[in-house]
Amino acid sequence: MLTLYGIPHCGTCKKAIAWLNDHNIPHNFINVKTDLLNLLT
């Protein structure tokens, strides 16, 4: 499974997520503004 790190409102991230979904590639999205802080603590 692919892990994508980004910001939800980022246009490039939205395009990447759409491409992954269109090609049925399983992925996790990590929001670097909120989720990353939770991962580090």
Cβ partners under 8 Å of residue 25, min gap 6: 2
Q: What confidence tens digit (pLDDT) does each residue in 7-36 have?
A: 999 999 999 999 999 999 999 999 988 887
CB-CB contact of 8 with 34 (8 Å): no
Report the pLDDT value the prediction gives residue 37, as an integer from 0 to 100. Answer: 72
What percent of the chain is predicted at pLDDT more than 90? 76
CB-CB contact of 17 with 27 (8 Å): yes
C-alpha span between 14 and 11 (Å, rounded): 5
Q: Whole-prediction pTM value? A: 0.77
Report the pLDDT value the prediction gives residue 21, as an integer from 0 to 100. Answer: 97
Report the pLDDT value the prediction gives residue 19, as an integer from 0 to 100. Answer: 98
Neighbours of 41 (CB within 10 A): 5
Report the pLDDT value the prediction gives residue 16, as an integer from 0 to 100. Answer: 97
**Taking the domains of the chain in order of start, what are their residue ranges?**
2-40
